[in-house]
Amino acid sequence: MSDPLTAALVAWLLGAVDGSLPLAAGTQPAALTLQGGFAAVGEAIFAALRWVLAQWYWLMDWAYYLTGLEMLNPRYRYMHRAILVGLCVGVMAPLIGTFLVHRQLALIGDALAHTAFAGVAVGLFLNAVIDLGVSPYLTAVVVAMIAALFIELISETTDAYNDVSMAIVLSTGFALGTTLISLNAGGLAVGVNQFLFGSLSTVSPQSAGILLVLFVVIVGTVAVTRNQLLYVTFDETAAAVSGISVNWYNRVMVMLTAMVVVGAMQIMGVILVAAMLVVPVAGATQVSRSFTESLVVSVVLAELAVLLGIAVAYYGGVTAGGVIVLVAVGIYVCAVGVGKLQSARGGREVPEMGSIETDDADPSAGTGGD
């Protein structure tokens, strides 16, 4: 590593992602100021994350003393972290999924999950070969975001999202992942299952911290750009005419999707992660009348699926990802039924259309008729 700046950044990254290394270790004098700045910011973020986790443990301890639920026992900190991750996923997955589903881009989550798997493989490979000590979730975020931009660029070039480009990215991601794993099978294959199928017990403080950062970024970005994302989702051409940069917001959306996928991958696994983007949203669509209502309902349905799924997985000793998806699908089926009932009951009263009114217009013009 000849470049001192790069050396400083890598040293900070290693320090930041691997608690065993002191922050800013092994740096060179030329980069000390910059590195010091990064290290200070990094330390502040990680201190905040540690504080949030500590408060969460405290909250869960109280929940245990109040409910007596075994899965909340203070001895099982991993369950506390799994519940925290699940709750965050239950908010951010349907939040992004709502925009994807209504643009008929439900499959993009699956494609990005498979590229995130390649990112995990890259992380594991680098750790095994050059002992980099980086979290596989961090490499997964990077690789998935690059893939997301790649999909978006293909769609901008060809003027349409298409199954073919998603299938190519999906297959390439999975192929890269399996190849890297097979290159060093002895060292990597052991930990691959948790990424493929997800696991409650392997949510480390470090990966919970990464997810909290992703959560803040995703929710914050959606809060600020929700109007533009909605306009682009509903009517892309009208949005472009109104001056909204459609390509820019499409890129934002796919990047956020990549982050959600990696965040949810911890407990859902690569294979099932896309379900959290789609199934709660599909359920909410059945019973909601407005877009705002559908966002809220999809989050509620997702949280229900996550909490029930984690509980069943814990007490039944089964894989959490699979149970969460099965519960979500069960909820979806119920939502379809409720939606049909709503349709049967509603819609009988049709309000009358008003008159067309402009100051120079005949008030009686264009009345009713539709």
Binding positions for other proteins, rule: CB under 8 A: 102, 223-228, 230-231, 233-235, 237-244, 284-285, 288-294, 347, 351-363, 365-370
Nearest to 135, CA basis, from 269, 12, 17, 265? 17
Tokens found for residue 256: 């956020």
**Between residues 127 and 288, which has the closer beta carbon with respect to other proteins?**
288
Please, what is the minimum distance in Å from the beta carbon of residue 223 to other proteins? 7
CB 280 within 8 A of CB 94: yes
**Between residues 230 and 261, which has the closer beta carbon with respect to other proteins?**
230
Please, what is the minimum distance in Å from the beta carbon of residue 358 to other proteins? 4
Please, what is the minimum distance in Å from the beta carbon of residue 13 to other proteins? 29
Please, what is the minimum distance in Å from the beta carbon of residue 362 to other proteins? 7
Tokens found for residue 264: 């949810």
Please, what is the minimum distance in Å from the beta carbon of residue 261 to other proteins? 23
**Between residues 163 and 293, which has the closer beta carbon with respect to other proteins?**
293
Burial 147-177 (b: 16+ CB within 10 A, else e): bbebbbebbeeeeebeeebbeebbebbbebb
**Between residues 266 and 298, which has the closer beta carbon with respect to other proteins?**
298
**Between residues 41 and 365, which has the closer beta carbon with respect to other proteins?**
365
CB 114 within 8 A of CB 270: yes
Please, what is the minimum distance in Å from the beta carbon of residue 82 to other proteins? 31
